């Protein structure tokens, strides 16, 4: 009997991926259907719908689900959900599709049909609707008014750009997934379905599992966060994003090598599991922290490590807004009648961490009394900037074994991308 936290939504893992004879039949049928091109973000979302990562969702959202998610963090049936999962098309494509029709969902980047969908609803998403979504989902304390937000968001926020560039209509309906793309082969042994991570955790007898979200190479601060979690939980799931990132971010295969080296040399391996998941980053800061906790619950995690500026970009969010948002969402008061609809994966809130020369070790603002001049402030953005420019890293910024892997990668990079630093990377707003 599993002791793990149950999947989100109270329905178990709702997996939409097909297998065996049913899979082969759907593949043949898909070839006869109208093909709708998916954006990279939609491909990742579709795979997560397939493998149960987005349980209890079984398809792309209706207008009622989209609006409820943006406005109240809830699907139309009252289940907690923090970020829209939608499929957009242009007006001309929408006009060519009838409600009740089945369509094939095509990944143009890899030339593959990924699944099928029965279109149960079509709805317009006007520019005003897109702005509504952006202000609800992407606007944070760093830009507290809509006027301030829109002055910079269209040019500097990749998540906002993604939403504003989407088609003007959304298609909703249940999906059948027939492919997981390149992930099972390209990231063999790392990419996992929720049922696979749960099986590993159960075999180890784990009950409380903490997830660490990674989109940057694992530096000393990440290592410290993991070790704090190992002390208070049965184990840690180092869960890396292996989908698409923004320009200048480090590819997933390089980050996986860094984790391998770090775990092998600096962890008790029995207390750590490494995995990968197929989503693109939305850079939605606090809302994305909630999404990360939601699907980590499906993977079997009861805790989500939330440090400073989780899933942030630029200075759009308050440094610890991704922690405080967990105190504002619907919990027992709104969802007591059906506890399965609540988010059960709770945050493991950890303050700004760094290496302190005077403490002679890793510390945080809660434990270290010394000043900024005594600290090596650690951030993935700072790490990428210094390495991409050929700079020397300060002592204790990263483990030597990890830095070797990263330097090898940057030596082969010819198209350099300027990496901008911000408050979360420099610590300029910290004492």
Catalytic residue among 41, 193, 198, 215: 215
What's the CA gap between 398 and 221, in Å, rounded?
A: 9
Q: Which of 9, 407, 15 is nearest to 178 (CA)?
A: 15
Strands (E), 151-225: 169-177, 209-214
Kindly report the length of the chain: 431
- For residues 177 and 30, what is the distance between their CA atoms, to the nearest angstrom? 11
DSSP codes of every residue in 25-71: HHHHHHTTSEEEEPPHHHHHHHHHHHHTTTTT--EEPPHHHHHHHHH
Q: Does residue 49 have a cis bond before it (omega within 30 degrees)? A: no
Query: How far is the CA of 134 from the CAs of 129, 139, 152, in angstroms?
Result: 9, 7, 13
Let me know if 215 is a catalytic residue.
yes
Joined tokens for residue 58: 């079984």
User: Does the annotation mark 216 as catalytic?
Assistant: yes
**Which tokens in the block code for residue 400?**
């030597």
Backbone region of residue 260 per phi and psi (left: phi > 0; alpha: psi in -120 to 50; beta: other values):
alpha
Nearest Cα residue to 176 out of 28, 340, 77, 12: 28
CA distances from 200 to 248, 377, 423 (A): 33, 35, 38
Options 170, 216, 271, 298, the catalytic residue:
216
Instruction: Quote the crossing angle between the two packed helices 127-137 and 146-156, to the nearest 10°.
Output: 100
Report the catalytic residues: 215-216
């Amino acid at each position: 009997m599993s002791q793990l936290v149950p999947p989100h939504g109270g329905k178990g893992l709702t997996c939409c991926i097909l297998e065996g004879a049913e899979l082969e039949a759907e593949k043949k049928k898909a070839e006869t259907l109208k093909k709708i091109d998916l954006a990279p973000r939609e491909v990742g979302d579709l795979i997560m719908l397939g493998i149960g990562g987005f349980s209890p969702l079984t398809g792309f959202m209706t207008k009622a689900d989209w609006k409820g998610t943006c406005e109240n963090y809830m699907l139309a049936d009252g289940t907690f959900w923090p970020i829209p999962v939608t499929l957009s098309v242009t007006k001309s494509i929408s006009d060519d599709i009838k409600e009740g029709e089945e369509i094939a969902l095509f990944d143009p980047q890899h030339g593959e049909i990924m699944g099928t969908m029965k279109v149960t609803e079509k709805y317009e998403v006007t520019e005003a609707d897109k702005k509504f979504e952006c202000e609800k989902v992407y606007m944070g304390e760093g830009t507290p008014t809509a006027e301030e937000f829109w002055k910079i968001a269209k040019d500097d926020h990749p998540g906002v750009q993604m939403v504003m560039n989407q088609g003007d209509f959304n298609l909703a309906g249940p999906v059948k997934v027939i492919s997981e793309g390149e992930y099972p082969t390209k990231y063999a042994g790392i990419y996992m379905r929720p049922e696979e991570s749960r099986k590993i955790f159960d075999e180890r007898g784990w009950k409380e599992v903490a997830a660490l979200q990674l989109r940057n190479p694992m530096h000393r601060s990440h290592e410290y966060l993991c070790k704090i979690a190992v002390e208070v939980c049965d184990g840690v799931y180092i869960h890396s994003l292996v989908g698409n990132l923004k320009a200048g971010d480090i590819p997933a295969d390089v980050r996986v090598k860094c984790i391998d080296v770090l775990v092998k040399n600096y962890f008790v391996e029995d207390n750590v599991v490494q995995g990968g998941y197929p989503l693109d980053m939305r850079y939605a800061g606090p809302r994305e922290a909630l999404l990360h906790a939601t699907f980590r619950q499906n993977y079997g995690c009861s805790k989500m490590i939330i440090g400073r500026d989780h899933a942030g970009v630029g200075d759009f969010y308050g440094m610890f807004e991704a922690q405080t948002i967990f105190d504002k969402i619907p919990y027992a008061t709104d969802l007591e009648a059906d506890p399965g609809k609540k988010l059960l994966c709770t945050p493991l809130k950890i303050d700004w961490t760094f290496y302190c020369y005077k403490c002679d070790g890793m510390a945080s603002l809660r434990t270290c009394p010394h000043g900024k001049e005594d600290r090596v402030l650690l951030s993935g953005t700072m790490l990428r900037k210094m390495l991409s420019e050929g700079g020397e890293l300060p002592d204790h910024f990263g483990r030597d074994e990890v830095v070797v892997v990263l330097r090898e990668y940057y030596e082969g990079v010819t198209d350099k991308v300027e990496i901008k630093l911000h408050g979360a990377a420099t610590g300029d707003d910290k004492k």
